[in-house]
Structure 1
Amino acid sequence: MSNFTDAARLATAALRDLFDPTPLQRNDHLSARYGAEIWLKREDLAPVRSYKIRGAVNAMRKVRVADPAQKQFVCASAGNHAQGVAYACRHFGVRGTIFMPVTTPQQKIDKTRVFGGDSVDIVLTGDYFDQTLTAAQKFCAEKSAHFLSPFDDPDVIEGQASVAVEMLEQLGKAPDLVILPVGGGGLASGVTGFMRDECPGTAFRFVEPLGGASLTAALEHGGPTTIAKVNSFVDGAAVARLGSCTYEMLKWVDPAQVLLAPEDRICVTMLEMLNVEGIVLEPAGALSVDVLPSLAEQIAGKTVVCVTSGGNFDFERLPEVKERAQRYAGLKKYFILRMPQRPGALREFLMMLGPDDDIARFEYLKKSARNFGSVLIGIETKNADNFKDLFANMQTAGFSYRDITADEALAEFLI
């Protein structure tokens, strides 16, 4: 047994003072679909609805043992790490100062305050996370406080390894495959660091959001590399740069083991898990389940564990998730129609719609010529193939249009 596995077991035991192991549940729906034993390690059911509490508690515990006089802790986070640190501060009776971007949704601020109570102060500063982080680190140095990294810290990684300790105890055997989401790499480092020692026959797949592939970039360049542009939709895993500590623990990974999940496809998975299973997952929490279709042939007949890493989902985002899911599935499209300015033209267009086609958006943008006007139209349908008929009818009738559904610049500006 290595020093790391010893430390992971100690971290797991210490967590029992705060909460019971999160459930490992066999999912009948997914198991039947893929002809496999699909288990979900439900980190979305942890006290702060995320595995982040594990690393925060373990790191704070070890600092307190090494330096009992240290009673001030600082972190920078807009989400799950902030809530984990707040919970840990209240548990250990220490002061926490949590820096969050000014743009952080009020729901996340309120939840952080609930978990921390009187033990934490929340400072809202910076429009972007980098600005928030700089302010947090400056404050930390001035106050001689201890900075708690969300992932790039050996003690945090040890804490996240408790997910694997529980998983093996609950399953009672080594799984054939474990699927892990990756942001900064703390969870993936901890779980693989423990399991590669304890069950070397287990295989791994790592899932990153397409717009935040920090592990992919690090493996490609031989070290942590900053991504120029990050899509922030999968906020729990949209990290611009993999950690240095986590890279050292993950540099053995074959790039072929890393899968990328398109943000809109993740929305389809989130809705399915909500509507079919009643499981609320945040975008990062759905990553491990999202890639199952692409692994279908490889996992048939095998025991697979998907780590659902978090369930901090603000239901005010549900319309956006539904919109993205429909667009990915081809059930909703937006296009700009050059509408003839003559009596009966609109009626003619409406007659082209099928019985399952609904107008979700209709807006005149401008009159581009005396005889034509540009119209933004959004159409929802029940079958993606219906758009073939609609567009064919429009072409036959001489209606000029441009499909902007996949045009990010226009869609962001107009929709």
Structure 2
Amino acid sequence: MTGFAGNVRRATDAMRDLFPPTPLLRNAFLSERFGAEIWLKREDLSPVRSYKIRGAFNAMAKHLAAHPDQDSFVCASAGNHAQGVAYVCRHLNRHGTIFMPVTTPKQKIAKTQVFGGDAIEIRLVGDYFDDTLAAAQEFCATSGAHFLSPFDDLDVMEGQASVAVELIEQLGSAPDRLVLPVGGGGLSSGVTAYLAGIGAPTRLKLVEPAGGASLSAALKAGEPVTLPRVDNFVDGAAVARIGDTPFEVLRQTDPGDVLIAPENRICVTIQEMLNIEGIVLEPAGALTIDALVDLGAVIQGQTIVCVTSGGNFDFERLPEVAERAMRYRGVKKYFILRLPQRPGALKDFLALLGPDQDIARFEYLKKSARNFGSVLIGIESGAPESFDTLFAQMTERGFAYRDITEDEVLAEFMI
């Protein structure tokens, strides 16, 4: 095997000194739900709970093969890439300097330090990632250290593509469809190039978060573009600009094969996998499973592999996940009520609530006029359709209100 596919095969073999293949497991719950053979490639069970260790290892190993005296490596990351680099630095006995934003949660900093031990130094620089990246690159320019890109590097792409080598060997053949997450494009481009190199008939589906659809934007423009705004909730895949090198591989992708996953729907998937299957996935790790609902009947009877790309989930985020999931399912609404300032007005409103509706938030905002006050109210309900009845009754009784559940600007500042 030669070319890119041959390099991927050799990278996969070399990784066995670092960690065994991650499991490929058939999921009975998803298989029954979608009428297909659904397998999960569990990258959330790698030593650092994500696939990023693969690209970091291959990039460092290949650089050391060409430059054996290189002792210092650098990366800029607040997440899985940092942990992968830290782990590999310790394994290869090389020093790593890992730049992280000052705003990085302490849990992520601590995990990175545990993986790297004495082999790494963590530097907290900048409030935003762009500042962190600039500091890391400046450090490389003055120190002679080698910079390790999280995705925009051919060696990284080769390392990430080892996922495909393993899953085909584990399954015994190439699957009918392979569902991959897309962030900067390292995994998706590497696997795409590998499957093309071996002539596999597998149909690829790529999944991006709605708030970071950089591949879709690049395909539309014909070149990588920088998104004006990114929703960082899916922090492992919310990338403002897809990598130049990965896009050269992905530019021929049919836009119809790129799926967009809404952030709030991803939260429903995270909850389901945790509560039903006991599988802990970070938002990016749940992307491919979440996209199965978009594939629908087309996958029935087929063999599908979903890559669960990461499980580095901070459980302090569970309340936010639950909140977003309820809003997606339509069982939680927020609205601003213009409440008359008279005795009994609040009692009149409360009388409209059904037996399955609870007030989860009640906050006076201000008196907008002498005789009225604005109130922020959050209501949880047993069924989404009950809100239609509630709002109809509110209108009939003369209560003025504004539903702000889906208003991104107001929700960001008020909810």
TM-score (norm: length of structure 1)? 0.99
Residues 160, 191 of structure 2: 8 Å contact kept: yes
Output one character per residue of 1:373-409: Cα deviation in whole Å (capped at 9) or x when no partner: 1111000011001101111111111111110111111
Contact 1:174–1:199 (8 Å) recurs in 2: no
* 1:51 partnered with 2:51: yes
The reply to whether residue 165 of structure 1 matches residue 165 of structure 2 is yes
1:262 has 2:286 as partner: no
Within 5 Å, which residues of 2 pair with 1:16-415?
16-415=16-415
Q: Distance in 1 between matches of 2:400 and 2:257?
A: 45
- Contact between 2:74 and 2:98, CA under 8 Å: does it hold in 1? yes
Aligned-partner SS, 2:109: helix
State the AA in 1 paired with 2:169: E
Deviation at 1:262, TM superposition (A): 1.0
For the 8 Å contact 2:179–2:305, the answer to whether it is kept is yes
- For the residue of structure 2 that corresponds to 1:352, the secondary structure is coil
Deviation at 1:65, TM superposition (A): 1.0
Find the aligned partners of 1:220 and 1:61 in 2 and give their Cα distance: 36
How many Å separate the matches in 2 of 1:322 and 1:347? 29
TM superposition shift of 1:322:
0.7
- Provide the rounded CA distance (Å) in 2 between the counterparts of 1:307 and 1:196: 18
Shift of 1:173: 1.1
Deviation digits for residues 7-52 of structure 1, max 9, x if unmatched? 1111111111111100001000000011100000000011000000
Q: Does structure 1 retain, via aligned residues, the 8 Å contact 2:4–2:197? A: no
**Amino acid across the alignment from 1:7:** N
Output one character per residue of 1:111-150: Cα deviation in whole Å (capped at 9) or x when no partner.
0000000000000001111111000000011011100000
Shift in Å, 1:370: 2.1
* 389-398 or 142-151, which deviates more: 389-398
Q: CA deviation at 1:198?
A: 2.4
Q: What is the CA deviation profile of residues 341-383 of structure 1, one whole-angstrom value per residue up to 9, with x for unaligned ones? A: 1111111111111111010000111112222111110000110
Cα distance in 2 for residues equivalent to 1:228 and 1:404:
23
**Secondary structure of 2:363's partner?**
strand
Code of the aligned partner of 1:154: L
Is this contact kept in 2: 1:196–1:202, CA < 8 A? no
User: By how many angstroms is 1:259 displaced?
Assistant: 0.8
Q: State the alpha-carbon separation in 2 of the partners of residues 368 and 100 from structure 1.
A: 44
Please state how far the C-alpha of 1:331 moved relative to its aligned partner. 0.7
Q: How many aligned residue pairs are there?
A: 415
Tell me, in whole angstroms, the C-alpha distance in 2 between the residues paired with 1:253 and 1:410: 36
Mapped to 1, the partners of 2:28 and 2:199 lie a distance apart of 25
Preserved contact between residue 73 and residue 148 of structure 1 (Cα < 8 Å) = yes
Quote how far apart the aligned CAs of 1:199 are: 4.3
Unaligned runs of 5+ in 1: none
Are the equivalent residues in 2 in contact too, given 1:352–1:394 (CA < 8 A)? yes
Gaps of 5+ in 2: none
Question: Does the 8 Å CA contact 1:365/1:376 hold for their aligned counterparts?
Answer: yes
> Sequence identity, in percent?
69
Task: Please tell me whether the aligned partners of residues 337 and 402 of structure 1 are also in contact (alpha carbons under 8 angstroms).
Answer: yes
1:106 and 1:311 mapped to 2: Cα distance?
A: 17
- Tell me by how many angstroms 1:197 deviates: 2.5
User: Structure 1: how far apart are the matches of 2:363 and 2:152?
Assistant: 48
Q: Which digits, 9 at most, give the CA deviation of each residue in 1:134-188, with x for residues without a partner?
A: 0000001101110000001111111001100000000001100000000000000
The Cα offsets for residues 314-346 of structure 1, whole Å up to 9 and x where unpaired, read as 010110111111111111000011111111111
Q: Which amino acid aligns with 1:159?
A: G
Q: Secondary structure at the match of 2:123?
A: strand
Q: Distance in 1 between matches of 2:248 and 2:368?
A: 58
Q: Is the 8 A contact 1:15 1:54 kept in 2?
A: yes
Partner amino acid, structure 2, of 1:293: V
How far the C-alpha of 1:2 sits from its partner, in A, is: 3.5
Deviation of 1:250 (Å): 1.1
Give the distance between the partners of 1:9 and 1:196, measured in 2 at CA.
14
CA distance in 1, matches of 2:174, 2:54: 22
Q: C-alpha distance in 2, partners of 1:79/1:199?
A: 34
Displacement, 1:69? Answer: 0.3
Distance in 2 (CA, whole Å) between partners of 1:389 and 1:119 is 62
1:163 is paired with a residue whose SS is helix
Matched position secondary structure for 2:74? strand
Distance in structure 1 (CA, Å) of the matches to 2:199 and 2:264? 35
Equivalent pair of 1:180/1:306 in contact (CA under 8 Å): yes
Letter in 2 for 1:302: Q
Is the contact made by 2:73 and 2:96 (CA closer than 8 Å) also made in structure 1?
yes
